[in-house]
Each structure stands twice: as structure tokens, then as C-alpha cells.
Structure 1
Amino acid sequence: MADVASKVLFLVNEHIATEALLGDAFAEQGFDVDTFEVVPAERVGAPAGEVTFPDPGGYDVIVPLGASWPVYDESLRDSWVGTEMQLLRDAADAGIAVLGVCFGGQLLAQAFGGSVARSPRPEIGWYDVLSDRPEVVPGGPWFQWHFDRWTPPPGATEIARTPNASQAFVLGRTLALQFHPEVDGDLLKMWLAADRDGDVIAAGLDHDELLTRTTELAQDTGPRIRSLVRGFLTHVAGHSRPS
């Protein structure tokens, strides 16, 4: 009898925050990759609203991705953010592994009893991340674009940080990341084109500078993302799903 491929579901919370390099890394590990768009492009200006999510039960891993809104926005918490938080709790209860990225990591913090609030110092660009467990989260430069930061939930273990913010925590078979491992040049160009509020300029950076740095690091980024995904699957998710 042939082995059934493992399946990963990426929750694309905002249409421009796609799985990018993370999708490739999971595919290389033998996963079938599914995506679900939570807030489509036509609703970006008014993102609150009810969403019917897929059943997480058919998946081995759920990956909630990034978005530009605060996870604590009341109109969102009262609609799809609240629903997605319950989905993540249900997935964890069912033994499904979860990997949260930026907004997705903050969702995990909020869903499991931590808190999320405005950070005194936003992070945009490439920052060195100090890791206590490099076999799970390799230390070094990772791309950031966030204005909020979390307090890890009760029972979680913080495993990486910058001077400004917690960057990763583990809780059971869940790993939350504050940074964006998925970013490549193409994804960053989309984000820069959508930067209507001038976040990059306000942070004292320019678009060409960010793109150049991303290109310079591209040769190392792929292997480090593959290492992160292998580390997550081995040390957090475990090799097999609990029965």
C-alpha cells in the first residue's frame, strides 16, 4: 500500500502575504501544499467579516501566515480572527502541528492566553535573531515587518528574540515565529508596492536598500528556510502525527 503524502494548509490571511519560500520548503519535505485565502484583495479595505475555514482535520500541519492588521483589532476578533483562533486551538487539541508566521504567530500567542500589543520599536528589514535552539530556529538574519509584539502564552518556551521583541516560542506541537522566513525578492516587491503608508521610509530605509539586502542574502536564505522547516517537523511537530 502506497504511503499517503503529508498535507500542509497555509492560511493566507491577506492576499499579498503568501507562503512563497515556505511552500517550496514543505514541498521538498514531501508535503502536499494547500492554501486558503482568508481576506481576498477586494476586502482589504474592510477586512472584518465572517469566514468559513476548511476543516483542519485533513491536515498534518496548519500554517497561519502574515497580514497587515493588528490581531487585537476588535472588529476582526469578533469576526474571522476569533474563528481562526478557535481553529488553531482545535487543531492543537487534535494533535495537528501548527507553525505561525508574524501575524500568524501573534494569533497563536493571543489564542493560547498570551497577549499582543503595539511594540515601542517596530522592526522592518533584516534583523539578527538570537536563538536558544538553532536546530529549530537558525539564528542570524531574518526578515521582519511588524509593529506589534507578543507576550508568550502560559506554558510556552521562548526560544529566539531580538533586543526589541520575542521572535519564537514553542508550545506543544506549535511553533510561533515573529519574523518572515518566506520572503524572497518577488514577495518583497509586492509588499513594497503595497506600502501605501510609507512604513519603509518612516523606518529610515528605502526600497532599493531592502531589495539589495534581500538579493545579497538569497543564496543563504533558501538553505536556512529548509533547515527551519526540517527543525520544526523534527523537534516540534515530531516525525509522525499522534493517533
Structure 2
Amino acid sequence: MTPGPQKRALLVEHDPYTSPGLVGEALEARGYALERRLVVPEERFHSPGVYHDFPDPREWDLVVPMGAPWSADDHAAIGSWLVPELEMLRTAHATGVPVLGICFGGQALSVALGGGVTRAPGWEIGWTDVVTADPELVPTGPWFQFHQDAMVLPPGALEVAANAHCSQAWTMGRTLALQFHPEVTLDVFDRWLETGGAAVITGLGMDVEAHRQATKDGEDAARLRTKALVDAFLDRVAARPL
């Protein structure tokens, strides 16, 4: 039998310190070819109001908008590319292109589809469990958190997971939005630390090395959880009939 064409996943990396990490591994294990598109280059990290030409999402089998250090409603700082990205996400969702949104990506999906983003009660950082209504889709965790914003669910979305801090996952159609970071490895976390994350953590009176050690010690288990999440997303959400 002649194999069919390889499926293609578009990974939208909003800043130069983002990596697909464990999510990328899980997608490649399912036969996806990854194309990584960087929105804000390193030299513009501190002035992120760049212009970016987003592709037509219908050219892809999957779209994965990833995390970012900005807020998904900060039009003053990133509106030049946020507005066209929201339009791309709306098009993907409306035409049945599966979308997996991660942290900022989940918040952007919330905004794009009629919900929103709001400030959370405070920072949520580190490995935390979630309460899940569908543990075969979103396991309880622990999942890595690094955010101070929260998703406001779009009309018609089904909340899948939450904790005392905020909503952690919702689904609608072929879209799954996550507040946490299933992609995180120690290497990914170290890059965040080097680019402002360490200052945030120490400023909150938290122990950077304790978070690093927990990430290192838990990486093998996190890889299994992330694979289970990605597999369930592809098999149950991305494959839903239109």
C-alpha cells in the first residue's frame, strides 16, 4: 500500500524562546511534519509590535498557537500581529481545521471565538493538578503553569478542566484550548528563566531551583501525560465530524 501524504502541523511560536518541546515530540510520533513560524524575532522581543503575514490555516492539517509573555488582549503592544492571528484562528475553527491552543494560544482562541481573557487572581507558576471532567482527554496532571491571565470561555464552549485559580481547558468543535504548558521540558523552562522568568519567580518569593528540580525530576512522567493528551486530542477532538 502506498502511504498517504504526511500530515502537516503549523506551530505558531510567538517569541524566540518558545519551543514545541513535548508537544512537538508527540505530534511527530503521530506522523506530523512540523512547520514552526516565529512571530516576534529576538531583536524585537522588547518591542514586539511587528507585522506578521499569517498563512491560510486551511493549508494545514493542524494549527498549534503556543505561549507568549504578552496578554492576548494587549492591542497596544502586539495588536499589529494579534488582530490577524485572531482572524486566522477564527478561520481555522470555522472551517474545521483542528486547533490546539497552549496558554497564550488558548487565551487567543477564547478571544477569537467570542469569549475573552482577563487577569487571574495572581500568578500561577509551577506544577499543579487540575480537576478534569474528562481525564482521558485532559489528565489531572500535574501540568506546568506560568501565567497571570485567564481564559473567559466562548459561548458554546465546554469546560473540560479547571482548578481554584482559573479555567484550565475547554473544547468546542475541533478546537481544544489549554491554560497550562504541556510542552515544558527543563530546557524550555531554562530559556524562560533566562529571559525574565527567573526575575518573576524570585520577585514572588519562590525558589527557582526548586521549580527546576521538579521539572527535571518529572520530565519522563510529563512526556507520558503529554503524549496521552495529544493522542486523545487527535483521536477525539481533531477527528470530530463537521
What TM-score does the superposition give when structure 2 sets the normalisation length?
A: 0.95
- Structure 1 residues 76 and 236: alpha-carbon distance in aligned structure 2, compared to 1, 3 A threshold: farther
Q: Aligned residue for 2:236?
A: 235
Q: Aligned residue for 2:19?
A: 18
SS in 1 for 2:127: strand
Q: How many pairs were matched up?
A: 241
1:64-108 Cα distance to aligned partner (Å, 9 max, x none)? 000001111122463110100000111112210000000000000
Would you say the 8 A contact 1:76–1:82 is kept in 2? Answer: no
Q: Aligned residue for 2:60?
A: 59
List aligned pairs for 1:219-230, cutoff 5 A: 219-230=220-231
Provide the aligned C-alpha RMSD in A: 1.5
Would you say the 8 A contact 1:49–1:76 is kept in 2? Answer: no
Q: Aligned residue for 2:103?
A: 102
Question: 1:5 offset after TM fit, Å?
Answer: 1.2
Q: Give the gaps of 5 or more residues in structure 2.
A: none
Q: Aligned residue for 1:79?
A: 80
List aligned pairs for 1:188-203, cutoff 5 A: 188-195=189-196, 198-203=199-204
Would you say the 8 A contact 1:166–1:178 is kept in 2? Answer: yes
1:99-129 Cα distance to aligned partner (Å, 9 max, x none)? 0000000000011111111111220111111
Distance 2:204 2:142 in 1: 18
Distance 2:173 2:108 in 1: 16
Q: Does the alignment pair 1:126 with 2:127? A: yes
Amino acid at match of 1:166: S
Does 149-158 or 200-209 show the bigger shift? 200-209
SS in 2 for 1:194: helix
Question: 1:44 offset after TM fit, Å?
Answer: 0.8
- Structure 1 residues 150 and 196: alpha-carbon distance in aligned structure 2, compared to 1, 3 A threshold: closer
Would you say the 8 A contact 1:124–1:203 is kept in 2? Answer: no
Q: Aligned residue for 2:178?
A: 177
Q: Aligned residue for 2:210?
A: 209
Would you say the 8 A contact 1:160–1:169 is kept in 2? Answer: yes
Q: Aligned residue for 1:46?
A: 47
What TM-score does the superposition give when structure 1 sets the normalisation length?
A: 0.95
Does 203-212 or 10-19 show the bigger shift? 203-212
Q: Aligned residue for 2:147?
A: 146
Q: Which runs of 4+ in 1 moved over 4 A?
A: none
1:23-77 Cα distance to aligned partner (Å, 9 max, x none)? 1110001111111001111111111132111222221110000000111112246
